[in-house]
Amino acid sequence: MMGNRSRLELGPLEQGPLERFDQDDWRALTDRVRQIAADIFAVPLDGLTAESSPESIASWDSLNHLSLVLALEQEWSIQFSPEEMEELLSIAKIVSVVAEKSLER
């Protein structure tokens, strides 16, 4: 989901990890996160924007939030800390945390 370049080719070291993401990487990642969230919350894909959050999505309750976190962890083979789990409260925030963590791996 991060383009097909190898890690070694991804830009100079002084850049922050997220700056190594290009437009396509972001789009692919965002699409994937939105699809997962749409399935978990049982809402149409186009009903989700970057700003979607528990305030705007009625089915974004604590149980579905846990299911969302687990699905993200499985998809990117990552694990969130309790603090991160509590931060993942909008699509945009999820995308940026997932990007960061999947690069750390």
Partner 1 sequence: MRELIEAALAAGRYGEARSAAEAMWRAQPNGAVANYVLECAARWRETLPCRPWRVYFLRSFTVEPMVPLLRAGGALVGLELTVGVGPLGAYMQEVLEGESGLYRFRPDTVIVAVQTRDIAPQLWEDGVPGAGLAAVVAEVLGHFTALVERLRSDSPADLILHALEEPVHPSWGVLDGQRPDGQAAAVQEINQGLRRLVSRWPGVYLLGYDRLVANYGRLQWHDERKWLLVRLPMRAECQPVMVNEWLRYLVPLAGRGVKVVVTDLDNTLWGGVLGEDGPEGIQVGIEHPGAHYRALQQTLVDFARRGILLAVCSKNDEPEALAAMDSHPGMLLRSSAFAATRINWTDKSQNLREIAGELNVGLDALAFLDDSPVECERVRRELPEVTVIELPREPAAYAATVRRHPGFERLALSQEDEARGELYRVQKERVTAQRQFGTVEEFYESLRQEVVMALVDPAHEQRVAQLTQKTNQFNLTGRRYSEAEIHELARREGARVFEVSVRDRFGDNGIVGVIVFRYTAGVGVIETMLMSCRVIGRTVETAMMALLVRFGRQLSLQWIEGWFVPTAKNGPARDFYANHQFAQVEAGEAGTRWRLPVESCSLACPRWIRASLAKDGNDGESIAS
Binding residues vs partner 1 (CB under 8 A): 35-40, 42, 63, 66-71, 73-75, 77, 79, 81-82, 85
Nearer to partner 1 (CB atom), residue 43 or residue 92: 43
3-state secondary structure of 105: coil
Q: How far is the CB of 19 from partner 1 (least distance, A)?
A: 28
Token pair, residue 8, equals 């070694």
In the numeric block, the tokens 């699809």 are attached to: 35
Nearer to partner 1 (CB atom), residue 49 or residue 79: 79
Residue 33 CB neighbour total at 10 angstroms: 26
